A and B are shown apart, each in its own frame.
Chain A
Amino acid sequence: MSPRLLLVDDAPDIRAIACLSLERVGGWTVLAVASGPAALEAARDDGPFDAVLLDVMMPGMDGPSTLSGLRAGGLPVGVPVVFLTAKTQSADRERLGSLGAAGVIAKPFDPLTLPEQLRLLLESYRT
């Protein structure tokens, strides 16, 4: 069975692109949701997931607060969360890293290499 990924991004076109990339190139099974609250719900009801790919800038509940919500309930501690962000200053990345994420992937991403980027991050997170 292919690994399951929870994708959280408010932009529908990004969800569509990332889904195609991760499913067809990376062989993931992806559940895509559009907001933080939807992610919390999915983590509770549709789990378990092997990883979470989480957009940082979302209206209402943003990426970091979604992360703490996920950790507070539903998502087991060992499941890695990777941020997806268009903010790429090293200070921003540092801040995101300190939240306990497995890593940060920058937008724009290449859909052909996105699964590979994710794989590398998850690998180094496990070790």
Chain B
Amino acid sequence: MADTRHTKTLAVALGMFLALYVSWQLLDWIPGGRQAVGDLLLLPVDAAAVCAAWRASRRCAGSARLRSFWVLMAIALAAELIGDVVQAVYDVGLHRSPYPSLADPLYLAFYPLLALALLRVPVALVTREKLVKTMLDGATIVVGGGAVVWYFVLGPTAVEGGQSALAMAVSMAFPVGDLFLLAGLAAVLLRHSPVALRAPLRLIAAAVALGIVADVLYGSGQLHGTYEAGDWIDTLYVLEFAVFALAGARQRSVRPGDPSGVADDAAGFRSRASWLPYLSVAIGLGVLLGVERSDSFFPDVSLVLIVVVLAVLVAVRQYVAQRDLVRVQAALRESERAKDEFLSVVGHQLRTPLTSIRGSLGLLDGGVLGALPEDAANMVAVAVLNTDRLVRLVNDILDIERMAAGRLALEPAPVDAAELVRQSIQVVEATADANGVSLRVEAAPGAEEAPIVVHADADRVVQALVNLLGNAVKFSSAGGVVTVTVAREGDVALFAVRDGGRGIPADCLESIFERFRQVDASDAREKGGTGLGLPIARAIVDQHGGRMWAESNEAVGSTFRFTLPLAREDLRRQPPVSAGVIHEPSRRLASSLR
């Protein structure tokens, strides 16, 4: 890990230099004018930052964009270095220190150069909308943060000092430029920035944050005429550039094809901090209040202007975001529609050959085409059984896919709960008889005079009930009894299917509602279930706004309960509407049970 050793060596060197610098700040032990020494002491740390950035660019051979990021970074830092050299020439060579001077354009050049560098960072999925949003967010931060800097720090001194507009503008430009960069850095860090660049980017952000403090003090000092090179404020600059140098050193090698050098899609969009720009709106308003309370040195109209600008920025940003959202929603709807269409086609495509297979086998199995030899008849019976299971599986999978997508269209209507039970019993009766299990319906007291009317999709509730009843029958031994009850419970109807089977272990009471989850793995084979009956039943009840759960005592058996909303008719105690006759033996009913 040569990179790490370099970083450590550099950190130690920078630390020692910093100690030297602070000791000089305190004790002034270096001979020569304070101003001249102050100017010259800035240069080594500037140079270290430039070198570190340049070396980082050499290490990023594997990614053209990362390389150009570091090259631009090195140029930006070099602009600062040259600025400091020019300042030194003013101070030491010319013995005069104008403000603003020729050094300031070089200092200011740092901002656009670093912004350009940031634009070179590979960020995944950059759409025009995102770019616009990011820029609006940046503008919001700059206006909000700029307002604070101006009103509390620079404004008062500027008004007192009666400085030139240029001097005020330059003093303002530094912290606002830093803020803008910080916003850009945050935007890049919050998106899919490459893994390899994260640590350096964080350090750069820390350096820029230090720069804000330094620049505010520097600008204010210049306006007051109190700043000169070698001032203690310079310690902050030394620190800032030391951190820049560390950032360059922290860049690890990126070879061609290295995934850490490209935008990190897998990280997902990190939107947790996307509210941050709006903090500056609050800050802007805070400024308004703060100034209102103190003695205002500026006419209110400029405050109003800032608030208006902030509000407009936020409004435009919301508009862009909203448009983006609408586009995403439309795409989502389209993909849902496509999935629906796909499921429908898959269903049709699978059922068509199954119809031929099931039909032919059924005719053979039923002896319609004449008696088969015993072995052949057995084989055909096996084929029929498994074709039925396959058909059920296809139907159940399609059902559960639709339910998962929330695409199950319910057609709820007032329906007599007893009628739903009756229809369900009808479907499972044959299987129950074959297994020697008796089905019993226990009427709720008073149900005879006032039937319980639920607001539900009759077909779907029957499907759910048939799934529960089918399970109860399958897990009952011969001679067992399965009991169905319905009762009013407040404003819902409570259905219960009770069996005297082997029961369900307590730790499985919830997991049995998961797809393809059976208490005993052999159940699927022996009982012919699809492993989807309970999840489907629960999904149906859920979609009605009801709840389904299981209770079990391994000695006594299991009870499955679910609730359905009562119809308004029931709540008003009006005569119930009959469930009516189903016009056709529904596919779901016919296939839910073999």
A44 interface hit (Cβ, 8 Å):
no
Q: Which residues B203-261 have CB closer than 8 A to chain A?
A: none
Binds A, one of B168-176, B296-304, B556-564, B578-586: B578-586
Give A55 to B280 CA distance when docked, in angstroms.
Answer: 66
The listed residue with most A CB atoms (<10 A of its CB), out of B347, B584, B591, is: B584
Select from chain A the residue with minimum beta-carbon distance to B363. A111
In the complex, how many angstroms separate the beta carbon of B431 from the nearest chain A beta carbon? 14
Interface residues on A, range: 35 or more
Instruction: Select which of B355, B363, B365, B590 is within 8 A of A20 by beta carbon.
Output: B363
Checking A20, A109, A124 against B581 with a beta-carbon cut-off of 8 angstroms, the contacting residue is A124
Beta-carbon contacts of B564-594 to A below 8 Å, as 1s and 0s?
0000000000000000010111111011000
Q: Does B359 contact A (CB under 8 A)?
A: yes
Supposing A20-B363, A90-B459, A108-B354 touch, asked if A117 and B344 sit within 8 A by C-beta, the answer is no
Asked whether, in the complex, the Cβ of B359 is within 8 Å of the Cβ of A17, the reply is yes
Closest B residue, CB atoms, query A91? B409
> How far apart are B372's CB and chain A's nearest CB, in angstroms?
15
Chain A residues with CB under 8 A of B344: 87, 89
| Residue of A21, A107, A120, A121 with most partner-chain B CB within 10 A | A107
In contact, A112 and B587 (Cβ under 8 angstroms): no
- Binding stretch for chain B, among A59-67, A70-78, A98-106: A98-106
B271 within 8 A of A: no
A97 at interface, CB cutoff 8 A? yes
Residues of A within 8 A of B354 (CB): 107-108
State A108–B363 Cα separation when bound (angstroms): 13
A24-B368, A105-B584, A121-B584 given as contacts; is B363 within 8 A of A86 (CB)? Answer: no
Complex CA gap A112/B365 in Å reads 9
1/0 contact string of A77-96 vs chain B (CB within 8 Å)? 00000000011111101100
Complex CA–CA separation, A110 to B395 (angstroms)? 15
Whether the Cβ atoms of B366 and A111 lie closer than 8 Å is: yes
Chain B interface residue count, CB cutoff 8 Å, equals: 35
Select the residue from A21, A86, A87 with max chain B CB neighbours within 10 A. A86
- Cross-chain contact A117 with B584 (CB below 8 angstroms): yes
| Complex contacts, B355 vs chain A, CB 8 Å | 14, 17, 86, 107-109
Are A20 and B391 within 8 A (Cβ)? Answer: no
Given A11-B356, A107-B355, A117-B584; A20-B368 close (CB under 8 Å): yes
Contact of B584 with A14 in the complex, beta carbons under 8 Å? no
CB closest chain-B residue, reference A82: B584
Which residues from chain A contact B591 at a C-beta distance below 8 Å?
106
A14 / chain B contacts, CB cutoff of 8 Å: 355-356, 359
Is A121 a contact partner of B583 (Cβ separation < 8 A)?
A: yes
Is A31 part of the contact surface with B, judged by Cβ < 8 Å?
A: no
B351 touches A107 (CB 8 A): yes
The residue from A86, A105, A106, A108 contacting B359, defined by CB atoms under 8 A apart: A108
Interface membership of B362, Cβ < 8 A: yes
* Bound Cα distance A110, B360 (Å): 9
Q: How far is the CA of A102 from the CA of B591 in the complex (A)?
A: 21
Within 454-500 of B, Cβ neighbours of A (below 8 Å) are at: 457, 459
Query: Complex Cα distance A103/B584, Å?
Result: 6
Question: Is there a chain B Cβ closer than 8 Å to A38's Cβ?
Answer: no
Residue of A nearest to B360 (CB): A17
Contact with A along B386-419 (1 / 0, CB 8 A): 0100010001000000100000010100000000
Residue B294 at the chain A interface, CB threshold 8 Å: no
Tell me, rounded to whole Å, the shortest Cβ–Cβ distance linking A95 to chain B: 12
The answer to whether A45 has its CB under 8 Å from any CB of chain B is no
Which residues of chain B come closer than 8 Å to A20, judged between CB atoms?
Answer: 363, 368-369
Q: Is A57 an interface residue (CB 8 A)?
A: yes
**Contact present for A104 and B368 (CB under 8 Å):** no
**B34 interface contact, C-beta 8 A:** no
Chain B min CB distance to A101 (Å): 10
Whether A57 lies near B585 (C-beta < 8 A) is no
Bound CA–CA A17/B355 (angstroms):
9
Q: Does B348 reach chain A (CB closer than 8 Å)?
A: yes
Determine if A108 and B347 form an interchain contact, defined as CB atoms under 8 angstroms apart.
Answer: no
Cβ of B522 < 8 Å from any Cβ of A? Answer: no
When A17-B356, A17-B359, A20-B363 are in contact, do A86 and B348 touch as well, CB less than 8 Å?
yes
List the A side residues contacting B391 at CB < 8 Å.
108
CB neighbours (8 Å) of B586 from chain A are 106
Q: How many whole Å from A109's CB to the nearest CB in chain B?
A: 7
CB distance from A19 to the nearest CB of B (A): 10
Contact partners of A18 in chain B: CB under 8 A:
359
Cα–Cα, bound, A87→B351 (Å)? 9
* Chain A residue with Cβ nearest B459: A90
Closest chain-A Cβ to B400's Cβ sits at a distance in Å of 14
A90-B411, A91-B409, A124-B583 as given contacts; A11 in contact with B363, CB under 8 Å: no
Residues of chain A with a CB closer than 8 A to B369's CB: 20
* CB atoms of B351 and A108 under 8 A apart: yes
Question: With the chains together, A11 CA to B355 CA distance in Å?
Answer: 10
Task: Enumerate chain A residues within 8 angstroms of B365, measured Cβ to Cβ.
Answer: 112
Tell whether, in the assembled complex, residue B358 and residue A110 are in contact, meaning their CB atoms are under 8 Å apart. yes
Q: Are A112 and B356 in contact (CB under 8 A)?
A: no
Which residues of A have CB within 8 Å of B352?
A: 11, 86, 107
Is there contact, CB below 8 Å, between B583 and A86?
A: no
Q: A11-B356, A20-B363 are in contact. Are A111 and B583 (CB under 8 A)?
A: no
| Interchain CB contact under 8 A, A86 and B351 | yes
Cα separation A103 to B588 with both chains bound (whole Å) = 15
State the CA gap A59–B588 with chains docked (Å).
27
Provide 11 A-B residue pairs closer than 8 Å at the C-beta atoms, listed in order of the A residue.
A11-B352, A17-B360, A17-B362, A24-B368, A88-B347, A89-B402, A90-B457, A91-B409, A107-B352, A108-B355, A110-B590
In the complex, besides A17-B362, A86-B348, A90-B457, 20 extra interface pairs with C-beta distance below 8 angstroms are A14-B359, A17-B359, A17-B363, A21-B363, A21-B368, A25-B368, A86-B352, A89-B344, A90-B409, A97-B583, A105-B584, A107-B351, A107-B352, A108-B354, A108-B358, A111-B362, A111-B368, A113-B590, A117-B585, A121-B584
The 6 A-B residue pairs whose C-beta atoms are closest, nearest first, are: A106-B587, A17-B359, A86-B351, A103-B584, A108-B355, A107-B355
